[in-house]
Amino acid sequence: MYDIDKIRADFPILSRTVYNRPLVYLDNGATTQKPRCVVEAMTEEYYSVNANVHRGVHFLSQKATELHEASRETVRSFINAQSINEIVFTRGTTESINLLASCFGDAFMNEGDEVIVSVMEHHSNIVPWQLLAERKGIKLRVIPMTDSGVLMLDEYEKLFNDRTRIVSVAHVSNVLGTVNPIKEMVRIAHAHGVPVLVDGAQSTPHFAVDMQLLDCDFFAFSAHKIYGPTGVGVLYGKEKWLDKLPPYQGGGEMIKNVSFEKTTFNELPYKFEAGTPDYIGTHALAVALDYVSKIGMDSIYSHERELTSYAMQQMQQIDGIRIFGTAADKDAVISFLVGNIHHLDMGTLLDRLGIAVRTGHHCAEPLMSRLGIEGTVRASFALYNTKEEVDILVAGIKRVASMF
Ligand code: PLP
């Protein structure tokens, strides 16, 4: 039984008003709201446990370290990785991908080598590879998509050649909501001896992800998109790969011994975690993961899928609407334009009705070019959204449209 009222009561912000109207928060793709337990865990740790982690002999440092390392185990279990050595804490998906592009590029890529990305990537899975292209002369190859927003797997397969070193693709598009067939894409890449990095920023909040099932080599996600704090993320990597990669940044914690003659590096995963980690944030992430696990990722998935198909049905009936992304396997994201109304105007006017949506290119300018538009309005759902909120959105869009 999905008790939506009980769930909503866990999120204090959902009961506030904006412009004297109840808040309808539909910008979850950008960031999710936080349940009370996550915020309280952070406050509680600052008030009663705070001390820098690792290396500390004193009580508080040991307690903080225990919480931080227990969080690594929570993450491992949540994504079903084989070992905690495979869980690297970062600042977010963006940093995870930058880390990987930089370290993998240094270790395994040379001038003329290629990375395969898709046309629907977020900038954070394009620009790190372009930076590497500038540094090392590597090339980006791009998987095209159909008009409904489905990646063309036959074209994908044709992109492989003896210079292909890695595939880096989004699990779920933050604009189209398309769920990409990662398992199949990994199978194809592995058949060519090529590893795969999956950008899981938009999948982890919505359905269960299983590293051993997907068999991807690397996986990145952000805490703040799954009801956790800002500034914390995860890079999962198979141990056999992480072992072979050089460190990303230098500093405390990532070393074993330092001398001016020679420095040796720490074991996994600490080799990639230079400096004081956001240990308050990692603990809060674990609390968030426990929170969604308690509700059940499968229940969240069913609830959000029902909401998305309801919203699609209702929105498709609006005069002059164009919806971008109509894949059969579509997640909780709906991007649209109505008539000639600029996305910014639509977003601004919806905001006055208390409805928070995102507008613009959604950090996916190449995808906007592919669609032949400059931007969209995007409504994205979370575990606490309701059909009533979808109705308010639909009525709001109609009302704005009638003003033009
Ligand atoms: N990848 C995708 C698909 C995203 O939607 C986002 C954020 O919107 C990111 C990467 C970047 O995430 P972050 O800003 O948390 O690093």
Q: Supply 200's token pair.
A: 């899981």
**Domain finish residue from 293, 312, 340:** 293
Query: Does 171 lie in the same domain as 316?
Result: no
Q: Please give the Cα distance from 222 to 126 (Å, whole number).
A: 17
Does the active-site annotation cover 37?
A: no
**Mean pLDDT of the residues in the chain:** 97
Ligand 1 within 6 A of CB of 122: yes
Place of tokens 């390392």: 69
Query: Does 185 lie in the same domain as 55?
Result: yes
Ligand 1: centre distance to CA 361 (Å) = 13
Per-residue pLDDT reduced to its tens digit, 46-97: 999 999 999 889 999 999 999 999 999 999 999 999 999 999 999 999 999 9
Say if residues 104 and 166 touch (Cβ distance below 8 Å): yes
Query: Does 310 lie in the same domain as 184?
Result: no
In this model, does residue 209 exceed pLDDT 90?
yes
At 56 the pLDDT is 87
At 253 the pLDDT is 87
Closest CA to 389 of 21, 26, 8: 26
Overall pTM > 0.95: yes
- CA-170 nearest atom, ligand 1: 3
- CA-31 nearest atom, ligand 1: 8
**How many residues belong to the chain?**
404
Ligand 1 within 6 A of CB of 180: no
Ligand 1 within 6 A of CB of 167: no
**Domain finish residue from 293, 325, 347:** 293
Ligand 1: centre distance to CA 31 (Å) = 9
Query: Does 366 lie in the same domain as 347?
Result: yes
Q: DSSP labels for 193-226?
A: T--EEEE-TTTTTTS---HHHH--SEEEEEGGGG
* Tally of domains in the chain: 2
Q: Please give the Cα distance from 144 to 120 (Å, whole number).
A: 8
Query: Does 65 lie in the same domain as 11?
Result: no
Query: Does 327 lie in the same domain as 263?
Result: no
Residue 31 domain-assigned (yes or no): no
Per-residue pLDDT reduced to its tens digit, 180-207: 999 999 999 999 999 999 999 999 999 9
At 1 the pLDDT is 86
* Ligand 1 probe mutation, 127, 174, 230, most atoms within 8 A of CB: 174
Q: Please give the Cα distance from 195 to 34 (Å, whole number).
A: 34
Per-residue pLDDT reduced to its tens digit, 296-327: 999 999 999 999 999 999 999 999 999 999 99
Per-residue pLDDT reduced to its tens digit, 371-381: 999 999 999 99
Ligand 1 within 6 A of CB of 94: yes
Ligand 1: centre distance to CA 404 (Å) = 33
Q: Tell the residue nearest (CA) to atom 4 of ligand 1.
A: 201
Instruction: State the Cα angle at 242 between 240 and 243, rounded to 5°.
Output: 65
Query: Does 60 lie in the same domain as 10?
Result: no
Q: Please give the Cα distance from 176 to 220 (Å, whole number).
A: 19
Q: Supply 160's token pair.
A: 């492989």
**Domain finish residue from 233, 265, 293:** 293
Residue 368 domain-assigned (yes or no): yes
Q: Tell the residue nearest (CA) to atom 5 of ligand 1.
A: 174
Query: Does 285 lie in the same domain as 305?
Result: no
Ligand 1 within 6 A of CB of 178: no
CATH of the domain at 223: 3.40.640.10
Ligand 1: centre distance to CA 60 (Å) = 34
Q: Please give the Cα distance from 74 to 80 (Å, whole number).
A: 10
Q: Please give the Cα distance from 306 to 238 (Å, whole number).
A: 34
Place of tokens 């099932």: 213
Percent of the chain at pLDDT exceeding 70: 100
Query: Does 262 lie in the same domain as 137?
Result: yes
The DSSP bridge partners found for residue 355 are: 24
Ligand 1: centre distance to CA 29 (Å) = 8
Q: Tell the residue nearest (CA) to atom 12 of ligand 1.
A: 93
Q: Please give the Cα distance from 347 to 358 (Å, whole number).
A: 7
Q: How many CA atoms lie within 13 A of 332 on its CB side?
A: 31
Q: Please give the Cα distance from 354 to 348 (Å, whole number).
A: 10
φ, ψ (nearest 5 deg) of residue 352: -65, -20
Instruction: State the Cα angle at 230 between 92 and 3, rounded to 5°.
Output: 110
In this model, does residue 396 exceed pLDDT 90?
yes
At 15 the pLDDT is 97
Q: Supply 320's token pair.
A: 């002059």
φ, ψ (nearest 5 deg) of residue 304: -70, -35
Residues near 83 by Cβ (< 8 Å), separated by ≥ 6? 76, 239
DSSP designation for 9: H
Instruction: List the catalytic residue out of 37, 103, 216, 363.
Output: 363
Q: Tell the residue nearest (CA) to atom 6 of ligand 1.
A: 201
Ligand 1: centre distance to CA 168 (Å) = 14
- CA-91 nearest atom, ligand 1: 16
Residue 95 domain-assigned (yes or no): yes
Q: Please give the Cα distance from 30 to 16 (Å, whole number).
A: 19
Residue 111 domain-assigned (yes or no): yes
Sign for the CA dihedral angle at 156, 158, 159, 161 comes to positive
DSSP β-ladder status, 233-237 and 218-222: antiparallel
Place of tokens 């905690």: 84
Place of tokens 């409805």: 355
Query: Does 277 lie in the same domain as 253?
Result: yes
Q: Which domain holds residue 323?
A: 4-26+296-402
Q: Please give the Cα distance from 164 to 233 (Å, whole number).
A: 27
Query: Does 342 lie in the same domain as 207?
Result: no
Q: Please give the Cα distance from 42 to 19 (Å, whole number).
A: 30
